[in-house]
A = this chain, B = another copy of it.
Amino acid sequence: MGSKDGTGDISEAQGYAADIDSIREAQARIAPYVHRTPVMSSTSIDAMVGKKLFFKCECFQKAGAFKIRGASNSIFALDDEQVSKGVVTHSSGNHAAAVALAAKLRGIPAHIVIPRNAPASKVENVKCYGGHIIWSDASIESREYVSKRVQEETGAVLIHPINSKYTISGQGTVSLELLEQVPEIDTIIVPISGGGLISGVALAAKAINPSIRILAAEPKGADDSAQSKAAGKIITLPSTNTIADGLRAFLGDLTWPVVRDLVDDVIVVDDTAIVDAMKMCYEILKVAVEPSGAIGLAAALSDEFKQSSAWHESSKIGIIVSGGNVDLGTLWQSMYKH
């Protein structure tokens, strides 16, 4: 496995699920199906943070989030025979819509297992891309059970939202693009949940420039990654509680080694800070982001970051704005509850 000191030496990283080659392959594979999203900046926000920030706006990505990168890489990597029976996944969020869209682009059926308590707007997205919805109960056990049954009944291939080589490689194309757009970036702040996005981002970025710092931004009510890093092993939580509905998953066996070795630090922020950051994105950047998408800015503004050694070494910071799928009603409630 790779180095464990977080300095970014990944020359020995043969054991990771993905690498710069698989990420470059993904970039070529998915190019026809994804947007090259813009990088935005704001002198007002830079003045507040005291650093130069570069917002990689995956909220403008197809289906409104980075998830289409991993989903399309996974689906287009399969051969015609493998996909002949379609694909299946279980998700209540952006991965569901991304798989539905990627399957539509490939011209194959997508079976999407969705828990009954999923937000209506996310269900609408899946329908809009022609996904075939199968309902499950809210528990992860029910979702996995139903998903397995659909696999058996249909012969569809499972597209894992996080813990797969192709998913991780697809998500890693975000940092390839960002470093093409702004090569001088010295630090990237990435939302962390199951670790698919940050693993891909870290593997690509540290291969291109080993001195780049990779910082994870994690909500206080789902801080399993911070706890895992502290414990040196995967920690899961009995329950999670955060407005960032996209950041409630736990690390998997393929993402954990990358997070353990290549993520320099985890910055934990509370929901109030997330909502404040969403508001700044809306009012200053003029960009609609979901809570999970705003957490990177919240981390950049946090005292925890300002008191860390990374603060003093960072001057040009990439912020991955992971997605923009948010219900206006939910947005308002979150704004004014706090």
Residue A311, interface by CB 8 Å: no
By the criterion CB–CB under 8 Å, are B286 and A59 in contact?
yes
Cβ of A328 and Cβ of B282 under 8 Å apart? yes
Q: For the complex formed by this chain, how many copies does it contain in all?
A: 2
CB-CB under 8 A from A40, the residues of chain B are 60
Q: Shortest beta-carbon distance, A324 to chain B, in Å?
A: 4
**A153 on the B face (CB < 8 A):** no
A335 (CB) vs chain B CBs: closest residue: B328
Chain B residue nearest to A281 (CB atoms) is: B288
Bound together, the chains give a CA A64 to CA B329 distance in angstroms of 24
Query: Do B328 and A279 touch (CB < 8 A)?
Result: yes
| B residues less than 8 Å from A328 (CB atoms) | 279, 282-283, 332, 335
Within 8 A of B (CB), among A120-158: 121, 128
Residues of B within 8 A of A288 (CB): 282-283, 286-288
Within 8 A of B (CB), among A40-82: 40, 44, 57, 59-60, 64
**A210 → chain B closest CB, angstroms:** 32
Task: Determine the chain B residues whose CB is within 8 A of the CB of A287 once the complex forms.
Answer: 286-288
Asked whether any CB of chain B lies closer than 8 Å to the CB of A38, the reply is yes
Across-interface contacts of A336 in B (CB, < 8 A): 329
CA distance A328 to B276 in the complex (A): 12
Q: How far is the CA of A279 from the CA of B286 in the complex (A)?
A: 14
Interface residue from B38, B59, B286, B335 paired with A64 (Cβ < 8 Å): B286
For residue A123, give the distance in angstroms from its CB to the closest CB of chain B.
14
Distance in angstroms between the alpha carbons of A14 and B307 in the assembled complex: 63
Residues of B within 8 A of A128 (CB): 44
| Bound: A240/B285 CA distance, A | 30
Using Cβ atoms and an 8 Å threshold, which residues of chain B touch A121?
283
Query: A59 to chain B: which residues have CB within 8 Å?
Result: 286
A148 CA / B42 CA spacing, docked (Å)? 35
Which of chain B's residues has its CB closest to A333's CB? B332
CB distance from A119 to the nearest CB of B (A): 13
Question: In the complex, what distance in Å separates the CA atom of A282 from the CA atom of B289?
Answer: 9
A53 to chain B minimum Cβ distance, whole angstroms, is 15
The 4 nearest A-B residue pairs measured at CB: A286-B324, A286-B288, A332-B332, A59-B286
Residue ranges of A at the interface with B (Cβ–Cβ < 8 Å): 38, 40, 44, 57, 59-60, 64, 121, 128, 279, 282-283, 285-289, 324, 328-329, 332, 335-336
21 pairs, A vs B, C-beta closer than 8 Å: A40-B60, A44-B128, A57-B286, A59-B286, A60-B285, A64-B286, A282-B288, A282-B328, A283-B288, A283-B328, A286-B287, A286-B288, A286-B289, A286-B324, A287-B287, A287-B288, A288-B288, A328-B332, A328-B335, A329-B336, A332-B332
